[in-house]
Structures are given as structure tokens and as C-alpha cells.
Structure 1
Amino acid sequence: MTEAPSGNAPENVLEVRDLKVAYGRRRRRVEVVKGVSFTIAPGETLGLVGESGSGKTTIGRALLGLAPVAGGSVSFRGSDITHLPRSRRRLLARDIQVVFQDPYSSLNPSMTIEDILVEPLATAGVTEGRTRVRQLLEQVGLPEDAGSRYPNEFSGGQRQRIAIARALALRPGLIVCDEPTSALDLTTQAKVLSLLHRIQQETGAAYLFISHDLGVVREVSDRIAVLHDGGIVEMGGSEQVSLRPTHPYTRRLQLATPVPDPDVQARRRQRRRDLLEAGA
């Protein structure tokens, strides 16, 4: 039985408790996620930031049922989804969707955009899929005739808009955004981030936004969790964590965030050297 939320606070969309993910067996067993806990409320964006190999993408895969959970639990809207069988996991796809890093490899190059967007609708038994496709294309700022074209006819930013449209097709409550802008140039990145924000305002979907870039995460997140070596080392409000970090690892991420001012960059490089020499 799920405990009712206290007071007027909304029930969390997602609750992750002491999550552990491990690969291998016995002596060769390697734990890559080490007891991670966090929640995401309706309409909230939690940024999960860390360098390559920190375990952040593995956490996203575990939520989607794509990585083995060795311990802990994952609950979606009060229901335990930690070890769902494949048949029930497919049904859950209506409510939990993902936008991957590479917008080209995640789209079938032999299918038209309309067929790509209709596919999840047809699988879920949604009628009038073609009408919904036109709505989705409009929602992500693409022309109606985009549906008759193929992925290779679009730029990287446009393909990511298509991937976002596909994730929105079934009106999910949670979207896992796994490095959705890291393959894009800065101008296109800003447009996609703006689109994600607008869609969240319109739909109320919650986001888990995974990135290695603390600056990007700050722009889109309400709260930030900093992941290092498989564990969360710092968590708090976006401004607090990104501008006034308390953990040495978060401070190193902050100093690695690109800025256009060369004088600021020089000061940051010196600060990084000072931290390394101090063993922080």
C-alpha cells in the first residue's frame, strides 16, 4: 500500500530509493551505481550531472528497465516498477519516455517521420494517429510536410525535435533526457532547451535531465543532483548547486563549465590548478 502524501504536497512522479546497479558476477562484480536516492515532482526538472563514467546514464537506463537493478527500488506514481516483466514494461512506455543524445541513430532512417511518430501511437492502440502526428509536428515547431520526409533530410537540431515529438506522442508523465543537446552546436542547443521548457509548461511533464555540463543543467533544472563515482555527492536547488557548490567535485565541474570571457577562463584554469595541487 502506498502512503498518501502529507498535506497539500503533490505525490512525486518518481521516487528512487537506494538504487544500486551492478554488472558481472561474484569476484568480477562491479557496482556502477551505489545507493542513489532522489525524487521528481510533477512538472519538475531534476538535473543529474557528472562526468563520463560517473553512472548517470546507467541510472537513466535503470529507470527505463534497460539496466539490471541490483538493489533499492524505483517507484512511478506510487507503484513499484523496479523489476517489471517485459510485458508490463511495454505498457509503462505510455508514461515514461526518453530522448537520447544522438538524434540520428535513435530514428529509423528507412521510415518517414510520420511513420516514426505513428509507431508508438499504433502500438498503444491510439486511433487517429495521423491527426496526432500533425499536432506533434506543430508542437515542436516543424512544418506539416515534414511527415513525408526521412531523418537524413533534417539537420541535427530538427532531428532532435522529431525525437522529442516521438517522446511526447503518448503524453508521458516523465521524460528521461539523456544528454539531449550535447551533439548540437550552441545556437541549436539553446533552441532545443527552450523547446523542452515550453513543452514542459504546456504538458506538465516531469524531466530527468542527464548531462555532463553543469551550465546546461543549471539552465533547465529546478534541482540538481551531482553524481561522482556512482553516488550523489551534492543535491539542492539549481542556483545553489551551480553557483555556490559545497562539494569539491561540484566545484571542479563548475570550473569546467565553458564561458565566453577569456579572462574568466584564465582565472578558472588557475583555480583548477590550485585545486589539483591542493588535492581537492
Structure 2
Amino acid sequence: MIARLRVVTPGTVVRLLLLTVASVAFVYPLVWLVSASLKPKTEVFDNKLVPDHVQWSNFVEVWNAGPVLQWLINSTLVAFMAAITVTISSAAVAFGFAYFRFRLRGVLFGLVLSTMMLPGAVTMIPVYLIWNKLGFVDTQVPLWAANLFGSAFYIFLLRQFFLGVPRELFEAARIDGCGFFGLFRRIALPLCRPALIIVFVFEMQASWSDLMKPLIYLQTEQYFTMPRGLKQIIDAFALSGEYHWEIAMAATLLATVPMIVVFAFAQRYLLDGLALSAKQG
């Protein structure tokens, strides 16, 4: 049996080169961060990817710079609550737009999508006044509770998936006596699991790395999330007049690793969901 030789075309070579360049561009900042977190103070910005002197004590000093463990726990709690609430609420609204036929459905869906055009800076002060009136300023509630009302982008994404589910499945379930909530829970959600995982992971990452909301609503250190805590560490260096960037880099790496782990475990579901989304688009 003669093995067939694979012909490498110029187009394949160009694609591989572009993918290589893109991979290096994305990976380089992380490699630089890992390297900087292991360097002494005087070598942090020497741009060497392999440190001349490895200083593991940077990660010990991080814990002395602030209650980092508490900040990590707070970030995990807030990110999980934000992700689970926006996933459930957006899925419920998206299912309503996908399954039910009613007057002005297109107009209402257009109004939902139009909220994506509204800059966050426009609603920042009114939203703050609402939370302040409710007595939730300096608590973690404003960091996730707004997701109870869904997100326009996620509603649009999930609606496309729900529209891809054959309507005959829902009609057959209705004949068998299944209610609307049963259709949503037993048919729509299981069949659109990849999309739900995409929404959950994306929102978890967005909430985990968000600095603006904690900066606005949190004043007590024990409620800080990791981004808010990192800012406090850097501000403390500014007040002392001595910047310890090696400690800041080590703290940043600690804040980055959890999201890398989440994306690593959810990678298969993300790829499946994006592939299905592309087919339906």
C-alpha cells in the first residue's frame, strides 16, 4: 500500500504562518506576566522572558500586601452569582421570544437589542442612585443583582439557539400535557446546553475581571473583589512612594489563573457552542 503524500499549498503555508503569529501575539503577554512575577524588583521591566534571578518570595509577599484569599473568594462568589443569574434570566426571555407568537414581538425584541447601543456611562449615575436608595451600596449585591433582568446580547445569542430547536418537539410535548415551564426546562435548556455554557463562562469572565462596579460600590476592604484589591495594592505603593511591581505582577497572575482553568475545562463546550452558532447563522 503506497502512502499518499499530502500536498502543502501556498495558501496552507500562509494560514499556518498567520495562526502562528496570532498565537504568539496572544500567548506573549501571559508568558511575560509569569516571567515578571518571578523577577526581583529591579528586573521586572527588562523584557526577558527567562528571569536571570527567580524570586519565589514575590508570591509570599502578595499575601502580606492584603487579604488576597478573601478577595479571591469574593470574586468567585460574585462571578458565579452574576453568571448563573444572567444565564437563567436571559434564557427565559430568549425562550419567550423564540417560542411564543404575539403582536409586536419583533418591536419588543428590537427594543431589547437597542439597549446594547446605550453606553454604560449614561446609566451609571441613575443606577447608582437606585442601589443607594435600596441600601445596597458597599455590598456585593449591585455587582450581580442587575443580571436578574438578563442581558441583551445573551438574549439574542440564546434566542438564535432556541429558534434552531424543531418546533415539532415543543408541539409534541404540549400534546403530552407539558406546560410552558416544562417546555423550557425539559426541552429547550437541555438541547441548548452549549449555548448556556458559553453565556455562563463569558459572563463569569466579565464579572471576574470587572473593576468599574467594585470601584463604584465597594468601600469596605473585606468586600473587595480581586481587581478592586489589586488597585488598592497599587494605590498603597503610590502613597508610600515605592512601587513593588513584582508583587503587583504576582497578584495579577493569581487573579488570572482561575479564569485560565475555567476556560480550559469549558473549552470543548465553547467550541461546540460556537460551531452550532455558526451553522445556525
TM-score by length of structure 2 reads 0.22
The higher relative CO (CA closer than 8 Å, separation ≥ 6) is in 2
* Higher CA-based Rg: 2
Structure with a larger share of its residues in strand: 1
Structure with a larger share of its residues in helix: 2
TM-score by length of structure 1 reads 0.22
